[in-house]
């Protein structure tokens, strides 16, 4: 393609085209054009809302597509509503060319898959039980803790993946200070994983030899000290003075930053409890719909009024909770994941034709 453009322009008199590498001129910032597969492509709109990546940065679209689809399906698991969501998405994508419609198609499929897990067809477990036994009933009291722990485990995995991406990016950019000492670098990853293993060992009773002085000192205390000393250690690696503004000013600022880092680890992890919360919320709202339908029908056989309440109730839950779940998943993507590895400071590529 480059050679074709070069040859076409050089047919013009006194025009010469010289092709250079994208980063060959430090005065220029190459624009970024995202290229993704058929599944991830519609999710570019979410990435571009935050900002496109720089030319040399990681494109998070594939990760966003997978994680967003998984989380939405888990929080909105229902076979009937998932199929309806996919059909509506397909209609708007084909009729209006809306990328949000293409996103809805994928989210609907994910919701349908999780609907089989939760045994829900338009919010009814009774309909599902005619065909097979549900794998997991969210509203059963003995399953509540399992559901919340699964939500936390999902969040932990996504946070670890985000930190790993940040480590790879800093290694690529040769930002050694951020790579080694940042809360989103190696020090932060070691601290986070070590604390999680320690907590899991105590709660689940794995009986692993964790928690000794050596474990606490090397894998928890040492990373915390490295995070605390990130700025002076980074200066040291660059051959500069460790405390250019004095130790007192550094200590005061670093102490409160370290406190914020610890709170962020806890808050980001616990934030994924909302995933389990919305699973319960969805099941609870549909239970209310069917309770109202039975009250309207007088508790007898299925009547027209019963069906009318069920249809209106399903439509209401799909519109209200579908929108809320979509926003909440986007919040998890931006605040719990993007904040760890993504800057979005790139310049989007706009073709001459688009201009």
pLDDT tens per residue, range 165-221: 999 999 988 899 999 999 999 999 999 999 999 988 887 777 777 778 888 999 999
Q: Which residues contact 87 (CB under 8 A, 6 or more apart)?
A: 108
* 3-state SS assignment for residue 104: helix
Could you tell me which of 70, 76, 87 has the C-alpha nearest to residue 120? 76
Structure tokens at 168: 């790879």
Check: CB of residue 134 under 8 Å from CB of residue 119: yes
Is 80 exceeded by the pLDDT of residue 129? no
How much is the pLDDT for 331? Answer: 94
* 3-state SS assignment for residue 130: coil
Q: How far is CA 146 from CA 60, 141, 150, 151, 258, in A?
A: 30, 10, 6, 9, 32
Is 70 exceeded by the pLDDT of residue 155? yes
How much is the pLDDT for 300? Answer: 58
The pTM score is: 0.89
How much is the pLDDT for 31? Answer: 83
Check: CB of residue 89 under 8 Å from CB of residue 103: yes
Alpha-carbon span 227 to 234, nearest angstrom: 11
Check: CB of residue 342 under 8 Å from CB of residue 334: no
How much is the pLDDT for 20? Answer: 76
Which helix or strand (DSSP H or E) is residue 327 part of?
helix 304-331
Is 80 exceeded by the pLDDT of residue 304? yes
Query: How much is the average pLDDT of 10-22?
Result: 78
Q: Which residues contact 40 (CB under 8 A, 6 or more apart)?
A: 61, 62, 64, 65, 66
If you average pLDDT over every residue of the chain, what do you get? 88
Alpha-carbon span 279 to 272, nearest angstrom: 12
């Amino acid at each position: 393609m480059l050679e074709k453009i070069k040859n076409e322009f050089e047919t013009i008199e006194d025009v010469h085209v010289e092709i250079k590498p994208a980063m060959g001129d430090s005065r220029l910032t190459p624009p970024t054009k995202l290229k993704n597969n058929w599944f991830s492509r519609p999710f570019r709109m979410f990435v571009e809302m935050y900002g496109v990546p720089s030319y040399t940065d990681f494109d998070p679209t594939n990760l966003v597509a997978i994680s967003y689809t998984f989380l939405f399906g888990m929080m909105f698991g229902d076979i009937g509503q998932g199929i309806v969501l996919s059909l509506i998405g397909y209609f708007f994508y084909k009729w209006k060319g809306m990328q949000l419609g293409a996103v809805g198609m994928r989210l609907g499929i994910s919701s349908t898959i999780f609907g089989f897990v939760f045994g829900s067809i338009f919010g009814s477990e009774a309909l599902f039980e005619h065909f097979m036994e549900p794998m997991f009933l969210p509203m059963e009291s003995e399953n509540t803790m399992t559901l919340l722990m699964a939500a936390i485990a999902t969040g932990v995995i996504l946070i670890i993946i985000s930190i790993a991406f940040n480590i790879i990016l800093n290694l690529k950019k040769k930002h050694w200070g951020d790579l080694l000492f940042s809360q989103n670098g190696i020090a932060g990853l070691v601290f986070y994983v070590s604390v999680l293993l320690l907590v899991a060992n105590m709660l689940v009773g794995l009986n692993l030899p964790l928690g000794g002085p050596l474990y606490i000192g090397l894998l928890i205390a040492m990373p915390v000290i490295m995070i605390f000393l990130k700025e002076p250690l980074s200066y040291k690696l660059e051959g500069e003075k460790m405390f250019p503004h004095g130790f007192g000013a550094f200590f005061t600022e670093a102490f409160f930053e370290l406190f914020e880092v610890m709170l962020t680890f806890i808050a980001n992890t616990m934030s994924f409890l909302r995933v389990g919360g919305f699973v319960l919320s969805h099941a609870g709202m549909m239970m209310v719909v069917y309770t109202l339908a039975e009250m309207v029908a007088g508790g007898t056989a299925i009547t027209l009024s019963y069906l009318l309440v069920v249809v209106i109730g399903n439509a209401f839950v799909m519109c209200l909770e579908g929108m809320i779940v979509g926003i909440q998943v986007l919040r998890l993507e931006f605040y719990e994941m993007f904040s760890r590895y993504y800057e979005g400071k790139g310049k989007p590529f706009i073709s001459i034709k688009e201009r």
